[in-house]
Structure 1
């Protein structure tokens, strides 16, 4: 059903809505003039009575609704201006202005919805009314001019066809009216008071619009006047316009050259400033939520602009250097891995991933990266509405995929996750929604991932027997104490040898002296061993006897992602700390287990990258001590604090320097230098220098796809 004016758009009161009203009002005025001409023509009296009611009643209702709408629109504009002008230190006036604005907005929405309903009903009804009158007119003439029956009889088939069309139009008009009244009622019953900001801005990804909505802009003239304008972020620019038909005025030509910050040193509330090398623009939102949304949108657009520019430069560099030989081929294979189509092919090869995880639609092109599943476009939209703390959605064809994320997707898959989140679906007699059933899908997906109704909630409250807990805790504590007494270099060797002896990566026997030597690829870089090569977990108890936090803790060391997903589904705290093992977290256990993809899985599900154990060591400390270069790179990218010191006063850089690990020292110094550059230039929230990003991208590639290239330090340690 196509409506003349959209109900949702009228709630935003956008320039599009005002332009649509202007067009409809002109159309109705023209219709009234034409009908008046027919009514006053004495030769058309046979249809006068039929159209008289339409002109007097329906058009009169439209005019009355228009007057009310114009009146309340003016009241809303006055309330907005008054709310913006009130000074922050006059609390009584602030509360009064806020209450008036809330009441005025509520009244505006009711009247605007009534006005739009009246417009749409009028536009739908006029076709049937006029056609009905014309048909009556023709039948009247047929009866009056009986002598001309032969002539008019030729019009019989045509008139019958018009009658059939009229019947269909009447039915369609009645149906459209019911649907519009239902939509009108549904929208009117919604409670927008709790999240009023959603109505104040719009996002149109199809047209490249990141965000748009009304803002007050302070003029650069001597009077510093404030004007309300329609702003939008699009095509790497910040623009505004006074009316919908006006050409946009560019405020910021290139977002990469600007920064955004809160502004609390002026009397007006909810202000923020966009600063570029040539000028600054002071803007004011209608609420604190809107201000935060605009600041976040500008910051995200700045980061996106940097990434897009970097990708374009990389492509130009490849085209301009055709004779780089093997280096080009290596870069080509790296780019191929990151391209969306390659990601789609690799991820869809995983069992169950060829169809949507929730509705079964074939060839899904979207994914939830923290769950490790593939989704159709409709289900992906529902997942986005759940919030990123439940599901983080990414396109398999449009987005660039980091290698650790791609491998994370390949470690899980729809079959694995559905065995956990749909364990009780058949027992409960619930059928999965089919493609196209939007409401059923929303209810099913919310019950599945938010309420977790279909998870088999077996008892996990009983803890392990005390004796076995003490044995496990004592063994781990002895291992930690023996390592902590050594120097950084010796600690690294002892940790690596311990991980080798625990059969994490297998033990190689030297052919000449029979000593245990480190494998060519140690556990930090042997990221995806087959199931049979993973650590023997017989020392751990049956997971059904563990609480979810402890199950997640142990599965993280075992590199068992399905068990980790199961623990999270049962409500495990991703930052659970084991009080019997130095308050180590699952993320620290993942570091000790030597798996990059396990760390990535925990981080994607909200693990705190800076949470430390009782020795003051966080994941970055442990990864540095163990020489896990790939994990160090990952934690730095995810915001790890490299300035944090342990109980001995050592930060990760000092540990890496003492251990003479050149790769990790390079990464830490680059990250520190990039951080200092961004702080000195005021580029907060931006990704940093392109060279810095390229180096970290290369390390991520090697850690995931060529771990042997990061094995130089471990191989050198065998010589001593």
Structure 2
């Protein structure tokens, strides 16, 4: 250990010793200042190093993500993966250097300042205090008078003690000076040595890691050189092709028209067309159309799900449209809709018309060769079901349910208008089955006359199937063809020209030439009734004045007489006297009142007869709180009757004089199935009656948990759609599933809903 001050010199307390002391003190103070500054700088370096490591790790993660993005390019993926791994190893080593610096440099230097320098300062204070005491003792000893022996002795003793203390403190101070001088060297050198070793290990480790990539770097450098040459060559080729194409005539507007029915991607034809919307403003939108899988579809963006315009090209026709102000227009007409399209030129118009016509021909050819057509599939499913088929047959059977159940109704196995066997189309508001030709004619009449739907291609709700099974071709034709024998017009047959079928259908449903004329007595309004058999005496009095109406094809007595001929009715009434007692005279009612009364008793033939004779589906009975036929059907919990009225244009929100609409009444009566139906048909669940109660409040008051659930789900679903915007989702899938389940239960197991409602009220 190097001796900074000599112990012998400190005992003399010479001026040289004092000068050396001052030099040492100044040196220690300077050392303390510099070490504190160095510790702060080290702390800043460590913080910056940690930030650098964290940022570098983010950069390495970015390289790794870029490599995953370039997974299709093996060269780039391999390069980024290898380099990111090596950088990760180097960053880990750099993190270790930072920790070493923290422990070896900052901590040691900080401890030297806080402990060793502080101890030096404490010893220095003791030395200075003893030095002052010695100085005072010397002064008092020098001033002691010769004649006062006791003062001389006291001063001598005090001086002896002060000198002894000073020499002890001086030796301790010299020792501390020599110790701190030696420790200064060892601590600082050790800290620097640790730091240098850590840095050396870092760079050696980094060099070793990157040296492992020497061969790969050489290989990658060669590939990069080749890439540069290839890129320059491709750029030159593209510039030459670009210049060559610019020399050609690019002033033409027609795009390339190419119809290929056997295209590998299944797209026979595609291109841009303008499509006229079916809204009030008849706006035109440019969309990308394509013919694929025997369908005409379009989409706005490539990632959008294609929208189907024509589900089956075999069911449509195409023709130019000259009635529109726009040029190059053509129509694609199917039984369910008519789509007006516009091409950019006459050449494109002709190309699309030819493409659709060729696709129709190809679709028919494929249908003849396909053993799995809808009708054949239903037949095979029926055979499999009777023979114990598997789960796949059950799934197919579910898809053919509408076709099988509706065609099982008497008269429905032939077209209602031309008699063609095996019709697979239907008019859901009339309740009849149609062939494909007649369905197209019905479609042209407009939805206020006939709503056409496919029995095989469209999805059918349970209440619609139930409605179709309540009517049928036989019942409806007895109404709309009641006077066919009195008129010379002949009913068309399957092979009749389309023009004959169209003329017949318009005469039958639009002009209503063949229905039974309404008797003059059928003009009286409905009188007020107090109950289900309101004022039976009053009814009997009216029956005496005007005899009951005998059963006719266009009139029926109540209760329900679906499918009975006049002779069958007479025989049935003679056999069952109790039924005759329940018969109500309806001959004096005009069509609106007739529809009103028959709706309450679920007599579908009479309801259809009333509508055929011009009854307003929203007729109001002022004598009974302005009730409507739809509200009467609700009172009877007649699900199919409500569906029939709604399909024929009944207002689902029309309220009576109490302010209650059909949804209010269905909620009050606890008819869960009807609540579900009305919500699906757009009923307003926020409408309030005169008591300021909406259906949700009524359902809560009656403790009907099912109806409360339906109403709240409908409200939540509407709020979700409004939140998504005008072009948002059509509805939550859970909402659709719940309403589908309730609809199925209301049509097939209504007793379960009654039981559930009773349990909830209990």
For the aligned pair, the TM-score class normalised by the smaller chain equals 0.3 to 0.5
TM, length-normalised to structure 1: 0.47
* Greater RCO (CA < 8 Å, at least 6 residues apart): 1
Q: Which has the larger radius of gyration?
A: 2
